[in-house]
Amino acid sequence: MFEKILIANRGEIACRVIKTARRMGIKTVAVYSEADANARHVRLADEAVLIGPAAAKESYLVIDKIIAAAKQTGAQAIHPGYGFLSENEDFCHACDEAGVVFIGPPVAAIQAMGSKSEAKKIMGAAGVPLTPGYHGDDQDPELLKREADGIGYPVLIKAAAGGGGKGMRLVEKAEDFLDLLGSCKREAISSFGDDHVLIEKYITRPRHIEIQVFGDSHGNCVYLFERDCSVQRRHQKVLEEAPAPGMTPERRAAMGQAAVDAAKAVGYVGAGTVEFIANQDGSFYFMEMNTRLQVEHPVTEMITGLDLVEWQLRVASGEPLPLAQEQLQIRGHALEARIYAEDPDKGFLPSTGALLHLSPPAENLHVRVDTGVEEGDEISPHYDPMIAKLIVWDQNRDRALARMLQALAEYRVVGVSNNISFLSRLTACPAFANADLDTGLIEREKAYLFPEAKATPAEVWYVAALAELLREANRGAAKARRDEDPLSPWHARDGWRLNASAKRDLIFRLGEDQKAVNVAYRAGGYTLTVDGKSVEARGELNARGLMRVELDGMRMDATVVAANEKRHVFFHGRAWQLSNVDPLHHSGEGGGAEGGLLAPMPGKVISLIAQAGAAVEKGAPLLILEAMKMEHTIAAPAAGTVKAFRFAVGDQVGDGDELVEFEVSA
Ligand code: ADP
Ligand code: ADP
Ligand code: MG
């Protein structure tokens, strides 16, 4: 076995590999770009080598630098993870030449499977069923069109070198073929440097079912059953599970055998995945083989009780496979959800920024979280926006679904948009719950998955206000502990000093909706009134924002995380983002100097509401400033005209800076 390995990757998969290596007593070397100097994988590894600037093509994709790092640290083998150089023949060659073991299949297997067209030729010859289509060398557009016409529409044009859902075009009718061929080839050239395409019959309502295979250098090859990855957006997996619902032992054996045949046909060694597209009637066709560890490998680990990275390390060091086919068994059911920094409501657009608050569910026998980030880390635009993989296991699918829903409800992320609520709806959606699976599920269930904004429960306002009050009370108590006279009435937590009637308003905004929560202090709690409806509220809040809430005697748990003026309220498995609005400045008292309105405190301009040149009424909101963890609306002090704004959105302003040039009407 190796004594030291280098991991040529970053993020969760680098951390995942380090974890197993550590358990096996193998030392680890991380490589990192300048953007990742403080990344979790660097912190976890025994050693780490800087390999260049943030851009992957100047760091994680530079073969020479990675080989040099391995030589310099004395690493005997390199684990490539997935993505980056994991399926790169040149990298594999470079490892051979440097005398470093590549933890993966032989070069020939990568080469054979690197092109979807070549792979189909080899698989066809090995008797593996193929998706009907054309995968020849002749790339004449007219010939491709004739082939497509012959297959019958709809067809799929695929870049032979494609991956990650890129370089594919669905063609519904003959007239569109040549245009879409052109755009597919352009994307293929820019993404993969190769515009060779193949044409496939587009299977309607298919399932994506893949088989995990494992080979060793002694000629053994087994399959570790299937994963169903039918739930996809933009041809990319979001929710995966094992075993596949509805799979019969006979079909499993047939698909498993086809996958082993596929692996043997290319002399496969190590972990690989044979992807099939399956019809609803159970017939299946070879789609492609991924010659590496797959993102969703944890669901296979959960149902087999095996560590696939350990198997990879054993096989790469020359050991035989630890188990034979008849020793492998499926136990229970596992699901994986990919937690992404992306906005499902904006076409799954990636989101970047600092993870201001990150609180995953606790890990145990049923819940596993594979991640490469911690609170305070950055989701940068340079790499994949995945935050974590959440994996759950239980005795059967229904119980695993319940575990997933619970774990998602406990997952709290603040700082970047994320798909956690979307994943909750996906898991709960009747089609998914009933295992009515196919690759069009997300598209088909749109109405359920992207509901119109539901009315905000009144509790959201109460909980936000209670968090604010408890935070003040905690601070008062902390100050009292520090002070000489802990009995001073100035530290009292009942609000008596705030004003004579011990009543005040806290103001919050949620989208367009702004509400005042009236607070009356009571012994041990508060009476909170919103829209004329009052509740008796009490609770506790810790420094991470975890709350125990009691509203009219009803106990519930919630989290309220404050980040600048934002208040992220989490409870009942949902999340709301409120803004804390300063009651003093929303009616115009903020400015006042002749001719201009001044910043009441240092802060940042977050929105310009009025138009420059517009005539406005007294009290009309002009702009919003974020300062002191609150949002302050700067309003017109009198009827008049907005002559000009002195700052743009995003600008920092100093105390007393003129914000708006304003002319009061005569
Ligand atoms: P990639 O290399 O990007 O993973 P694949 O060939 O594996 O490309 O296809 C990605 C996804 O596209 C599949 O999981 C499936 O959902 C869909 N797909 C691929 N081929 C077909 C087909 N012939 N008919 C219908 N859907 C397909
Ligand atoms: P300061 O900057 O004055 O030290 P912060 O506002 O940063 O205080 O708060 C300190 C801690 O309290 C942070 O961990 C933050 O998450 C938490 N916190 C702040 N405001 C709230 C709130 N309204 N509800 C819950 N937790 C809060
Ligand atoms: Mg694929």
Task: Please report the domains of the chain, with CATH numbers, ordered by start residue.
Answer: 4-103 (3.40.50.20), 132-201 (3.30.1490.20), 343-452 (3.30.470.20), 458-581 (3.30.700.40), 596-664 (2.40.50.100)
What does the block give as tokens for 356? 């201001």
User: In this structure, are residues 660 and 645 in contact, taking their beta carbons and an 8 Å threshold?
Assistant: yes
Average of pLDDT values for 39-52?
98
The preferred substitution site among 357, 414, 471 for testing ligand 2, maximizing ligand atoms within 8 Å of CB, is 471
Residue found by looking up tokens 């149902």 in the block = 303
The preferred substitution site among 82, 168, 205, 437 for testing ligand 1, maximizing ligand atoms within 8 Å of CB, is 168
Could you give the strand order of the β-sheet that contains 640-645, starting from the edge strand earlier in sequence? 596-598, 658-664, 640-645, 615-616
pLDDT digits (tens, 9 = 90+) for 263-286: 999 999 999 999 999 998 889 999
- What's the 482 CA to ligand 3 centre distance in angstroms? 60
Single out the catalytic residue among 16, 169, 233, 292.
292
Atom index in ligand 1 nearest the CA of residue 229 equals: 14
Write the burial class of residue 261 (CB in 10 Å: 0-12 exposed, 13-18 middle, 19+ buried).
Answer: middle
Identify the DSSP state of 528.
E
Q: Measured between alpha carbons, how far is 198 from 159 in angstroms, rounded to an integer?
A: 6
Q: Measured between alpha carbons, how far is 505 from 354 in angstroms, rounded to an integer?
A: 32
* CA 310 to chain CA mean position, Å: 26
Nearest CA to ligand 1 atom 14: 208
* pLDDT, position 166: 85
- What's the 559 CA to ligand 2 centre distance in angstroms? 12
pLDDT digits (tens, 9 = 90+) for 398-421: 999 999 999 999 999 999 999 999
Catalytic site residue 43?
Answer: no
User: In this structure, are residues 64 and 30 in contact, taking their beta carbons and an 8 Å threshold?
Assistant: no
Q: Does the pLDDT of residue 340 top 90, yes or no?
A: yes
Atom index in ligand 2 nearest the CA of residue 547 equals: 25
Write the burial class of residue 264 (CB in 10 Å: 0-12 exposed, 13-18 middle, 19+ buried).
Answer: middle
Ligand nearest to the CA of 166: 1
Ligand nearest to the CA of 116: 1
* pLDDT, position 487: 67
Q: Does the pLDDT of residue 593 top 50, yes or no?
A: no
Count of CA atoms in the C-beta half-sphere (13 A) of 590: 34
Using CA atoms of 499, 503, 504, 509 in order, give the dihedral in degrees to the nearest 10: 170
Atom index in ligand 1 nearest the CA of residue 162 equals: 2
pTM as predicted: 0.83
- Other C-beta atoms closer than 10 Å to the C-beta of 569 total 26
pLDDT digits (tens, 9 = 90+) for 206-229: 999 999 999 999 999 999 999 999
